[in-house]
Amino acid sequence: MQLAAEAADSKGGSDLVALDVTGPLPLTDAFLLVSGRTERNVLAIAEAVEEKLIEAGAKPLRREGRTEGRWVLIDFGDLVVHVFHEEDRSYYSLERLWKDCPVIPVNLPTPAHAD
C-alpha cells in the first residue's frame, strides 16, 4: 500500500485515500483511491504505481480503463488501485459507497522546502 501511495504521489496523484475492505470484500484487503488532473496524469499515475509494485514483486491480476484515462483500475489481489480523473472520482464517489470501511492511514514523504 505504502509503495503504491508513494508512486502515485510522485506523479502528482492527489486526494489519496486507502480503505480497508476486508469486511465486505473477501477477495481483496484494500482499495487505494487516487485522483489525477487530466487523462494523461491519470495514466502516468497508474503506470508509476504498476511499475513500482511490479519492481517490489507484486503481480497485477487485472487492468482496466487505460484506453480512456478517466478511471484506471489495477488489481494486485490484496490491493486494488483506483486512479480517477477528478471529475469521475466525484461522480462515482467510491468513498461514499464504502463509507463503512475503515480508512487506512497513508503517510507520504513531506516535500523538502526550497529556501
What domains are defined for the chain?
Answer: 2-104 (3.30.460.10)
List, for residues 34-90, the tens digit of each pLDDT value.
999 999 999 999 999 999 999 999 999 999 998 999 999 999 999 999 999 999 999
18 DSSP β-pair partners: 32, 104
The pLDDT score that the predictor gives to residue 115 is 46
User: Distance between CA 95 and CA 101 in Å, rounded?
Assistant: 9
